[in-house]
Amino acid sequence: MREITYLEAVREAMSQEMRKNDDVFILGEDIGVYGGAFGVTRGMIEEFGPERVRNTPISESGIAGAAVGSALTGMRPILELQFSDFITIALDQIANQAAKVRYMYGGKGKVPMVLRTPSGSGTGAAAQHSQSLEAWVAHVPGLKVVQPSTAYDVKGLLKAAMDDDNPVIFYEHKLLYKSKSDVPEEQYSIPLGQADVKREGTDTTIVATAIMVQRALEAADELEKEGISVEVIDPRTLVPLDEETIIKSVSKTGRLVVVHEAVKRGGYGGEIASMIAESAAFDYLDAPIKRLGGAESPIPYNPELEKAHVPQVPDIVKAVKETLNRK
């Protein structure tokens, strides 16, 4: 199997679907000749033309509104927002229109759209271009929320998102775009709501999202040298959430560390922790649940402060040891 980057896997998933389905098109700022803010759509306008790779004005609300409207009339739009922070500008169209139309019209209207957007810190993009706001949209009934962590996952999950008749918010972490993994050339789909056990273990469960999956795996490698066996679970989708896989893992290990980049307060890690507290897995816990998340401040521009703002490998190692009462 060939190895490609996360970025290439996103492009390939969209291109393969657009060749198969004329109802699929892409819209967003600078996605045409320029190829998008991170180069994901580079070369696509040459193949599909400006009608299906549509440059838009700088208006996230307008882009989202156009996507909702076209989806309601039978198209299957993929809108790209240059940075996930800009969802804030389009939130009315996303939360009050896209998320609710199917419910309000008794299923007679549907909004099969995918909102793709780069998220997270680590690129020096500072306070307004580095946030992780996935908990905001996960709170809205009617929206599905995806956070792939590998090139293999991103291609399969994007295919599933494009096939879904509901609006899907699809987060692509900036630091993962250059990461590589084995990816089949043919189309394939990974069901939304199916977590992946990235590493099996017996002592502690780590549930991590996006870039934190890679850091959790690095931490697990370090901990293994000290005889500590860590199981790493990647939910892959926040909505729907694969509760069964997480509950099964925590019931086995008796310990849970939840790691995400978003600010800890109000972050999605609290949802996972409360789900375990309300499940049968609670009776198997041998230590309090640990949550790791971002600091309660805007993300700094300074690279050292930016790094300190979000969990790193040593933080995860320390948290796991605390669940085991080890230093």
- Sequence-separated (6 or more) residues with CB below 8 Å from residue 40: 7, 10, 11, 80, 116, 172, 177
Pairing relation of β-strands 76-80 and 196-199?
Answer: unpaired
Mean pLDDT of 144-148: 98
Residue 129 catalytic?
yes
Q: Quote the pLDDT of residue 216.
A: 98
Q: Is 90 exposed, middle or buried (0-12, 13-18, 19+ CB in 10 A)?
A: buried
How many CA atoms lie less than 13 Å away from 152 in the CB half-sphere?
A: 9
Q: Residues 186-218: pLDDT tens digits?
A: 999 999 999 999 999 999 999 999 999 999 999
| Segments in 242-287 forming alpha helices (H) | 243-253, 269-277
User: How much is the pLDDT for 143?
Assistant: 98
Assigned token pair, 303: 């690279």
Q: Is the bond into 191 cis (omega within 30 degrees of 0)?
A: no
The answer to whether the Cα torsion of 238, 143, 107, 71 is positive or negative is negative
Model confidence at 326, pLDDT cuts 50, 70, 90, reads confident
How far is 66 from 84, CA to CA, in rounded Å? 18
Its pTM stands at 0.96
Residue 189 DSSP SS3 = coil
Q: Is 194 left (phi over 0), alpha (psi -120 to 50) or beta?
A: beta
What digits encode the pLDDT tens for the residues 49-88? 999 999 999 999 999 999 999 999 999 999 999 999 999 9
* Residue reference for tokens 């199981």: 231
Q: Is the pLDDT of residue 221 over 80?
A: yes
Give span(s): CATH 3.40.50.920, the chain. Answer: 196-323
Share of the chain above pLDDT 70, in %: 100
pLDDT at 327 over 90: no
| CATH architecture classification, 3-182 | 3-Layer(aba) Sandwich (3.40)
List, by residue range, all CATH 3.40.50.970 domains of the chain: 3-182
Separation of alpha carbons 270 and 285, rounded Å: 16
Over residues 278-307, the mean pLDDT reads 96
Per-residue pLDDT at 162 exceeds 90: yes
State which fold the 196-323 domain adopts: Rossmann fold (3.40.50)
Mean pLDDT, rounded, of the chain: 97
Beta strands per DSSP E along the chain = 3-5, 24-28, 53-55, 76-80, 114-119, 144-146, 168-173, 180-182, 196-199, 204-208, 230-234, 237-239, 256-263, 290-294
pLDDT digits (tens, 9 = 90+) for 117-129: 999 999 999 999 9
Q: How confident is the model at residue 1 (pLDDT cuts 50, 70, 90)?
A: confident
